[in-house]
């Protein structure tokens, strides 16, 4: 009898582990790009190593990036970005930790495009702020693809633009997130 | 030639030199690493261990450096013609993750899991895993396969 109980317990534990592993999705190759439209020129940068983890059961979602990984077309822009604006040495990582508020609206087992609302804490340049934003979860073949566009103010994150560059760099930056995810196998 | 003319000529020359320098700096693009000499050559497992043992010291050592990493390919991921290659121990979740230079992706075509290769790249930092699910990564970008 005792042996039977043990076997049942082991099967139950393994089943729970298996189910919870299927609930989680991730990528380490997500994309983030940003655009700042200044008076003189438009500044754009891309990041191709965004880590994103999504728990489809709870709707908890997390993104993180190393700031030095943003690639610019012009070398000087990249240097100014890292050294003068976001101070990548001091604040090497930016992240978002939050939740899909209407997670129950997403059927992770059914292909489709689901409009979602995400709420959580965005940390850039060592400053953490509560944000709420719209996004999209696209399910295809059992895999979610998270996408969103958000607009932030550099001043909200204490990113100062020196007077000489003020005409060229807009205080408002548009950030686009694009993360196709895979099931997390544990 | 009068002294006044010499001074005006010298000032004009300085203005031209400064303008040329400023323009070349303004338009300077990020150069490919193909012909850049690396600052360090190391092994993927050793590099991960170095960051895991003391992130602050490793950050200081590899800050803004170009590095050649030798290691076993754990995975090759392709997304919209961007290739990301993970190097390291296949029994360990942590990796050295290398995003290939977007102009040199053809080199990734024959790369397979289990192959031992050398990749040169610009180190962008260490992403410590705080979820306990994914493993930590040393990240490199602008990578070229040696």
Q: Which CATH topology does B40-145 take?
A: OB fold (Dihydrolipoamide Acetyltransferase, E2P) (2.40.50)
CA separation, residue B83 to residues A151, B31, B43, B77, B145 (Å) = 28, 19, 20, 6, 11
- The per-residue pLDDT for A142 is 93
- The per-residue pLDDT for A44 is 92
Q: How confident is the model at residue A16 (pLDDT cuts 50, 70, 90)?
A: very low
In this structure, the strands spanning A42-55 and A24-37 are: antiparallel
Q: What b/e sequence results for A134-165 when a residue is b if at least 16 CB atoms lie within 10 Å of its CB, and e otherwise?
A: ebebebeeeebbbbbebebebeebebebeeee
Complex-level ipTM beyond the 0.85 threshold: no
pLDDT digits (tens, 9 = 90+) for A63-78: 999 999 999 988 888 9
Helix runs in chain B, H state only:
3-27, 44-53, 55-62
CB A149 within 8 A of CB A175: yes
- Please tell me the distance from the alpha carbon of residue B113 to that of residue A52, in angstroms, as a whole number: 23
CB A169 within 8 A of CB A161: yes
The answer to whether the CB atoms of A74 and B30 lie below 8 A apart is yes
- Please tell me the distance from the alpha carbon of residue B92 to that of residue B52, in angstroms, as a whole number: 13
pLDDT at A52 over 70: yes
> Which positions in chain B touch A73 (Cβ < 8 Å)?
29-30
pLDDT digits (tens, 9 = 90+) for A134-177: 999 999 999 999 999 999 999 999 998 877 667 777 889 999 99
Q: What is the pTM of this model?
A: 0.84
Return the bridge partners of A62, or none. A53, A97
- The per-residue pLDDT for B89 is 94
- If one compares A51 and A19, the residue with the highest pLDDT of the two is A51
In this structure, of A145-149, B67-71, B75-79, B84-88, the range with the lowest mean pLDDT score is: B75-79
pLDDT at A5 over 70: no
The percent of residues above 90 in pLDDT, for chain A, comes to: 70
The percent of residues above 70 in pLDDT, for chain A, comes to: 87
The percent of residues above 70 in pLDDT, for chain B, comes to: 99
Nearest CA to B29 out of B124, B108, B102, B138 is that of B102
- The per-residue pLDDT for A13 is 46
- If one compares A40 and A79, the residue with the highest pLDDT of the two is A79
- The per-residue pLDDT for A20 is 46
> Which positions in chain A touch B124 (Cβ < 8 Å)?
49, 66, 68-69
**For B125-133, what is the mean pLDDT?**
90
> Which positions in chain B touch A41 (Cβ < 8 Å)?
none
Burial of A176 (0-12, 13-18, 19+ CB in 10 A): middle
- Give me the sign of the Cα torsion angle A72, A48, B61, B58: positive
Tokens representing residue B110 in the block: 């024959």
In terms of CATH architecture, what is A24-183?
A: Beta Barrel (2.40)
**For A94-109, what is the mean pLDDT?**
96
- Hey, where are the domains in chain A? 24-183
Q: Would you list which residues of chain B are within 8 Å, Cβ to Cβ, of chain A?
A: 25-31, 59, 63, 77, 79, 82, 84, 86, 97, 99, 124-127, 131, 133-134, 137, 139, 141-142
pLDDT digits (tens, 9 = 90+) for B4-47: 888 888 888 888 888 888 777 777 777 888 889 999 999 999 99
- Hey, where are the domains in chain B? 1-30, 40-145
- Please tell me the distance from the alpha carbon of residue B28 to that of residue A75, in angstroms, as a whole number: 6
Top mean-pLDDT range of A3-7, A66-70, B103-107: A66-70
- Please tell me the distance from the alpha carbon of residue A184 to that of residue A112, in angstroms, as a whole number: 21
**For B99-127, what is the mean pLDDT?**
90
- The per-residue pLDDT for A186 is 64
Return the bridge partners of B79, or none. B82
pLDDT at A83 over 70: yes
Mean pLDDT of chain A: 88
């Amino acid at each position: 009898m005792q042996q039977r109980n043990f076997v049942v317990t082991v099967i139950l534990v393994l089943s729970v582990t298996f189910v919870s592993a299927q609930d989680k999705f991730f990528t380490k190759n997500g994309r983030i790009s940003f655009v700042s439209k200044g008076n003189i020129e438009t500044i754009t940068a891309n990041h191709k190593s965004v880590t994103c983890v999504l728990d489809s059961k709870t709707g908890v979602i997390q993104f993180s990036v190393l700031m030095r990984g943003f690639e610019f077309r012009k070398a000087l822009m990249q240097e100014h970005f890292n050294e003068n604006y976001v101070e990548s040495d001091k604040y090497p990582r930016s992240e978002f930790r939050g939740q899909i508020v209407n997670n129950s609206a997403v059927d992770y087992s059914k292909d489709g495009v689901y409009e979602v609302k995400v709420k959580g804490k965005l940390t850039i340049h060592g400053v953490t702020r509560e944000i709420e934003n719209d996004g999209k979860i696209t399910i295809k073949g059992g895999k979610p693809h998270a996408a969103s566009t958000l607009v932030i103010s550099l001043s909200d994150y204490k990113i100062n633009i020196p007077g000489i560059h003020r005409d060229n760099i807009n205080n408002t930056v548009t950030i686009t997130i694009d993360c196709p995810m895979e099931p997390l196998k544990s | 030639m009068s002294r006044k003319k010499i001074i005006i000529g010298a000032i004009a020359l300085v203005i031209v030199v400064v303008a040329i320098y400023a323009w070349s700096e303004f338009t300077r693009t990020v150069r490919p690493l193909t012909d850049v000499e690396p600052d360090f050559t190391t092994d993927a497992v050793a590099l991960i261990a170095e960051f895991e043992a003391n992130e602050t010291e490793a950050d200081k050592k590899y800050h803004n450096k170009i590095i050649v990493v030798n290691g076993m390919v754990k995975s090759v991921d392709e997304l919209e013609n961007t290739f990301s290659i993970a190097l390291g121990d296949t029994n360990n979740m942590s990796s050295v993750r290398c995003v290939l230079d977007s102009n040199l992706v053809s080199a990734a075509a024959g790369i397979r899991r289990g192959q031992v290769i050398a990749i040169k790249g610009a180190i962008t930092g260490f992403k410590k895993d705080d979820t306990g699910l994914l493993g930590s990564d040393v990240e490199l970008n602008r990578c070229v396969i040696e």
